[in-house]
């Protein structure tokens, strides 16, 4: 589904990604793990078109999309749930969700809303309340739901467990596994590397903008170098 070949990206003169290459097959959960500052979020932002690439190629379903703007990538089937949720606090839960379907003109918005409410019932209960009044876990559900309103083929999911209690982390990661069952491919950045690799088909380890390890999620979990450097074991 997705091929990233020699991708580079920079903030001004500071290059953050240095020739990153990876693949994501349809139906997979692929985890990106690494220490803070490794370039994980920059990679997702570059794939979604929020951050410009300075070199390399991004090929999605056979099409080179590197020069496409973000909204055009959404149309192609790529949506991002950003780090820190970034919900629109003054707007209602339902209005936040509707914004995720901004390209929908075929009368299917209600059906999409119903699907999100079935996945996250608490959002239905609080659909008329301001997003800023939700707990951290509920805001994360809202951020994921907003991205899913675009009916993506590929979901770029950035740090979904950030700042959440362990029980809520389990619920969010269980929802990620459920997305795979529903046929959605997920590229996951997650600070809880052990939990991410445990649910991932495959994983990549980033270090200062380079891919330094890759392989099946279960194999990376058992790799002594990965365990020592990134899993705190």
Domains of the chain: 2-86+152-230 (3.40.50.300)
First to last CA, the chain: 33
Whole-number pLDDT of residue 168: 86
- Give the model confidence (pLDDT) of 98-146 as tens digits: 999 987 777 789 999 999 999 999 999 999 999 999 999 999 999 999 9
Give the Å distances, CA to CA, from 86 to 59, 90, 113, 142, 177. 27, 12, 19, 10, 23
pTM of the model: 0.93
Whole-number pLDDT of residue 108: 87
| Residues contacting residue 64 through CB under 8 Å, at least 6 positions apart | 57, 58
Is the pLDDT reported for residue 218 higher than 80? Answer: yes
Give the Å distances, CA to CA, from 204 to 31, 55, 105, 233. 6, 20, 37, 18
Question: Tokens 């589904």 — which residue?
Answer: 1
State the average pLDDT for the chain: 93
Rounded distance between C-alpha atoms, residue 27 and residue 201, angstroms: 9
Is the pLDDT reported for residue 158 higher than 90? Answer: yes
- Give the model confidence (pLDDT) of 6-64 as tens digits: 999 999 999 999 999 999 999 999 999 998 889 999 999 999 999 999 999 999 999 99
Q: Under a CB-based contact definition with an 8 Å cutoff, are residues 146 and 135 in contact? A: no
Element (H, E) at 202: strand 202-207
């Amino acid at each position: 589904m997705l091929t990233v070949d020699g991708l580079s990206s920079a903030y001004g003169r500071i290059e953050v990604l240095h020739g990153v290459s990876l693949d994501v097959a349809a139906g997979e959960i692929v985890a990106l793990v690494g220490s803070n500052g490794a370039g994980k979020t920059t990679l997702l932002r570059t794939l979604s078109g929020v951050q410009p690439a300075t070199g390399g190629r991004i090929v999605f379903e056979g099409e080179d999309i590197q020069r496409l703007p973000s909204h055009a990538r959404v149309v192609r089937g790529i949506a991002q749930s950003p780090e820190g949720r970034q919900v629109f606090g003054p707007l209602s839960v339902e209005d936040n969700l509707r914004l995720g379907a901004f390209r929908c003109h075929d009368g299917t918005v209600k059906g999409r809303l119903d699907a999100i409410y079935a996945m996250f019932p608490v959002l239905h209960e609080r659909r008329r309340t301001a997003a800023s009044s939700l707990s951290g876990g509920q805001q994360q559900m809202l951020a994921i739901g907003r991205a899913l309103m675009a009916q993506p083929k590929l979901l770029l999911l950035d740090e979904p467990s950030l700042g959440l209690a362990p029980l809520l982390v389990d619920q969010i990661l269980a929802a990620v596994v459920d997305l795979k069952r529903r046929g959605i491919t997920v590229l996951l950045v997650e600070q809880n590397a052990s939990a991410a690799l445990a649910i991932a088909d495959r994983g990549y380890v980033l270090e200062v903008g380079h891919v330094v390890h890759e392989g099946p999620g279960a194999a990376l979990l058992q790799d002594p170098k990965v365990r020592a450097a990134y899993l705190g074991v």
